[in-house]
């Protein structure tokens, strides 16, 4: 069994587990609207050492970029930019590595310490 993402206007609408032959019957809509994805692929790497497939595992609301042949998650903050190597959004500034918890503040364009 494989995982396939249904794409509509470049956006992932759903992800299902199905055999290619079943998908090709058309019972799940036009087979051309389905693109294979792998739950073992994250940031352009295969988590088990295999060949990565389309940079990231597809999720509902993700974008499929034909040029990059990649699934891209929604942009979390306006100031974050797409890393085309990983197809993950990067903050414009690295998160502090001091053992504390931080959250991004898009107004100040900086990390702020997370307080409950």
Tens-digit pLDDT profile for residues 41-91: 999 999 999 999 999 999 999 999 999 999 999 999 999 999 999 999 999
- Answer yes or no: do 48 and 63 share one domain: yes
- Answer yes or no: do 68 and 79 share one domain: no
- Answer yes or no: do 93 and 106 share one domain: yes
Kind and range of the H or E element at 20? helix 20-23
- Answer yes or no: do 80 and 65 share one domain: no
Structural domain harbouring 104? 75-116
pLDDT (0 to 100) of residue 16: 98
- The rounded mean pLDDT for the chain is 97
- The strands making up 70-72's β-sheet, listed across from edge to edge, are 34-37, 2-8, 11-18, 63-65, 70-72
- Answer yes or no: do 7 and 50 share one domain: yes
The CB-side HSE value for 77 (13 A sphere, CA atoms) comes to: 15
- Answer yes or no: do 63 and 85 share one domain: no
Tokens (6 digits) for 26: 């058309």
Categorise residue 9: left if φ over 0, alpha if ψ from -120 to 50, beta otherwise: left
Task: Give the pLDDT confidence of 50-62 residue by residue, as tens digits.
Answer: 999 999 999 999 9
- Answer yes or no: do 66 and 33 share one domain: yes
- Answer yes or no: do 64 and 80 share one domain: no
- Answer yes or no: do 69 and 79 share one domain: no
Do residues 32 and 20 make contact, with C-beta atoms less than 8 angstroms apart?
Answer: no
Residues 6+ apart with CB under 8 A from 23: 4, 31, 34
Cβ count within 10 A of residue 55: 24
- For the entire predicted model, the pTM comes to 0.91
- Answer yes or no: do 81 and 111 share one domain: yes
Tell me how many domains the chain contains.
2
DSSP 8-state class, residue 29: B
């Amino acid at each position: 069994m494989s995982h396939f993402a249904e794409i509509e206007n470049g956006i992932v609408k759903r992800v299902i587990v199905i055999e290619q032959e079943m998908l090709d019957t058309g019972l799940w809509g036009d087979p051309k609207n389905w693109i294979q994805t792998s739950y073992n692929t994250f940031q352009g790497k295969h988590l088990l050492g295999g060949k990565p497939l389309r940079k990231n595992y597809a999720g509902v609301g993700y974008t499929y970029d034909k040029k990059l042949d990649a699934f891209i998650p929604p942009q979390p903050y306006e100031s974050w930019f797409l890393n085309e190597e990983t197809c993950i959004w990067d903050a414009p500034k690295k998160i502090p590595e001091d053992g504390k918890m931080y959250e991004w503040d898009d107004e100040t364009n900086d990390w702020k310490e997370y307080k409950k």
